[in-house]
Structure 1
Amino acid sequence: MFKRVTTEQYPEDKRPTQPRYHGRHQLNRHPDGLEKCVGCELCAWACPADAIYVEGASNTAEERFSPGERYGRVYQINYLRCIFCGLCIEACPTRALTMTNEYELADDNRADLIYEKKDLLAPLLPGMAAPPHAMVPGTTETDYYLGKVTGAVAAQAAESEARRLGTWAGPSDEEVSA
């Protein structure tokens, strides 16, 4: 009450946010680069502002984006509607959706405030292979969720690079039957 009022020099002098601050959403990846989102749409159901749209699709042997049967083919968050309450984070069963400390989301174009999946996905870190690619050989979907997968193996990296170059011929007969 009797403290001197101070003026913050934002945006020149940005102060760090609190560790639990709810900012922009992020779709996380497994250590090998596969997406954690399984397209269950629970985040969209939990959102009181109806700001999230998810459209799930099935993984195939030729194109696998997540270790589960499904993945989020279309994922959108409308930041014109989002109230940053975090209920979508609590509803996510795979911890695919988290919130970052990024808060500078202002824009002069309304269409740019509807973030697509490509805008929300966490960047690929060293040791990750860009999806789609097969799961780590000899693992199951459960191994991914228990944290037993620690990174991409050479076969995944080779498949990812071949897809990028357009030289991938498809999964082998062993991979399809597995």
Structure 2
Amino acid sequence: MAITVPRPNLNWRERMFLPAIAAGLLITLKHFKNMIFRRTKVTMEYPEEKWDSNLPEHYRGAPALVRDTDGRVRCVACQLCEFICPPRAIKIIPGEISKNDRFAKVEKYPEEFDIDMVRCIFCGMCEEVCPEQAIYLRKDYAMTGFTREDMMHHKDKLLEIGGVMHGVVLKWNEKK
């Protein structure tokens, strides 16, 4: 059974759409005038100007793995980041540490740790859920690659990007 929706009765001014067009043009002219006379900068000339000094405090960039001061990978392969990742961009294959290893106090380590940067949405949930503070989002914004395989960051590349982290990583702003 179809429902008939009555059309509103428009007068001749409303049927011409002139008031709506005039209002849109007025807004456009106002923005144009502000841009010309106030000389506000709208765009950034990328190769010459960069965001490095102007990044927001809580900017979320590329995820990276870190080592502690002893050279051990902080990740203990608990797979919490893999389970919480909304687009399923993280893949971890855990491996067991042998009893003779100097880092034998933890039972697992990531044998493989892959992040698909094409799928990653930089939400930061992996950073928040990590109990060892092994993964965190850096301030990188220029991540490029020619193929999809270039955007697949493996464990070695993630550790190279992350480097060594001394002490505890301060994830949140304590000023709140």
TM-score (norm 2): 0.65
Q: What is the SS of the residue equivalent to 2:83?
A: helix
Question: Does residue 49 of structure 1 match 2:109?
Answer: no
Write the distance in 2 (CA, Å) between the matches of 1:112 and 1:65: 31
1:29 to 54, 60, 67: 67
> Any conservation in 2 of the 1:35–1:65 contact (CA below 8 Å)?
no
Cα distance in 2 for partners of 1:41, 1:119 equals 19
User: Tell me, which stretches of 5 or more residues in structure 2 are unaligned?
Assistant: 1-30, 169-176
- Partner residue, 1:93: 131
Aligned length: 128
Whole-angstrom CA distance in 2 between matches of 1:5 and 1:118: 41
Q: Deviations over 1:108-142 (max 9, x none)?
A: 211110000001013358xx9xxxxxxxxxxxxxx
Runs of 4+ in structure 1 deviating by more than 6 angstroms, as ranges, are: none
Question: TM-score with structure 1 length normalisation?
Answer: 0.64
Q: Does 1:20 align with 2:58?
A: yes
Contact 2:68 2:164 in 1 (8 A): no
Larger radius of gyration: 2
In 1, are the aligned partners of 2:90 and 2:115 still within 8 Å (CA)? yes
CA pair 111-65 structure 1, distance change in 2 beyond 3 A: farther
2:19 equivalent in structure 1: none
- Asked if structure 2 preserves the Cα contact closer than 8 Å seen for 1:19 and 1:101, the reply is no
* Residue 160 of structure 2 corresponds to residue 123 of structure 1: no
Q: Which has the higher helix share?
A: 2
Give the share of equivalent positions with the same residue, in percent.
Answer: 33
